[in-house]
Amino acid sequence: MKKNIVFACSSGIATSTVVAEKVVEHCKGHGIDVVYQQAIIGELPSLDNSTDLIVVTSQVETKLNTPLVNALPIITGVGEEELLDKIIKLLKG
Which positions are annotated as active-site residues? 9
Query: How far apart are alpha carbons 58 and 87 in whole angstroms?
Result: 17
Task: Note whether 3 and 37 are within 8 A (CB).
Answer: no
Query: How far apart are alpha carbons 42 and 16 in whole angstroms?
Result: 14
* Cα within 13 Å of Cα(39), Cβ side: 20
Eight-state DSSP code of residue 43: G
